[in-house]
């Protein structure tokens, strides 16, 4: 079984009320993933990243859809252990010369990676972040283009 953590691009697509080809494709993909027994997660840090912009732009339909996704998928709150791990990942990335963001900004990628890494799974299960930002995230956690993750 896969534990699939949705990054901002795929989750953003799912929160769009307009039924574009991309929205239909990702909706079908998530249905197939769930039907195959995989677990999909809405990490709180990604919910925050999307929600703040939807609120600013007063996109109430998008907010309603985002709220609804929390009932379909597993909502993953930020925990103290995830934030401690995120700080460690951030420091490792900086020391290694491979930062994922500006040093003065909150690095959502390290928090997302830490959230995924702190979920307790069975040994035979797999963790993967569904994203379009594979290069940054794959330095810390298994990550793949959402279109390349097979249900």
| pLDDT, tens digit (0-9, with 9 covering 90-100), for 45-84 | 999 999 999 999 999 999 999 999 999 999 999 999 999 9
CA angle 145, 122, 72 (to 5 degrees): 55
Cα 60 from Cα 66, distance rounded (Å):
10
Mean pLDDT of 17-32: 96
Strand bridging mode 2-6 / 74-76: unpaired
**Would you place residue 128 in the very low, low, confident or very high pLDDT band (cuts 50, 70, 90)?**
very high
Mean pLDDT of 124-141: 94
Domains of the chain: 2-148 (3.40.50.1010)
- Phi–psi pair at 140, nearest 5 degrees: -120, -30
pLDDT at residue 96, as a whole number: 87
pLDDT at residue 116, as a whole number: 97
pLDDT at 99 over 80: no
């Amino acid at each position: 079984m896969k534990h699939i953590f949705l990054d901002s691009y795929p989750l953003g697509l799912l929160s769009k009320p307009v039924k574009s080809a991309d929205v239909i494709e990702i909706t079908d993909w998530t249905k197939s993933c769930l039907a195959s027994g995989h677990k999909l997660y809405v990490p709180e840090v990604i919910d925050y990243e999307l929600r703040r912009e939807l609120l600013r732009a007063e996109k109430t339909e998008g907010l309603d859809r985002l709220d609804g996704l929390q009932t379909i998928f597993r909502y993953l709150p930020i925990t103290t252990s995830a934030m401690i791990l995120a700080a460690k990942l951030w420091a490792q990335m900086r020391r290694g010369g491979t930062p994922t963001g500006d040093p003065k900004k909150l690095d959502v990628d390290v928090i997302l990676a830490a959230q995924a890494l702190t979920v307790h799974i069975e040994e035979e299960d797999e963790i993967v972040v569904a994203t379009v930002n594979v290069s940054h995230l794959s330095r810390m956690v298994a990550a793949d283009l959402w279109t390349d993750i097979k249900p």
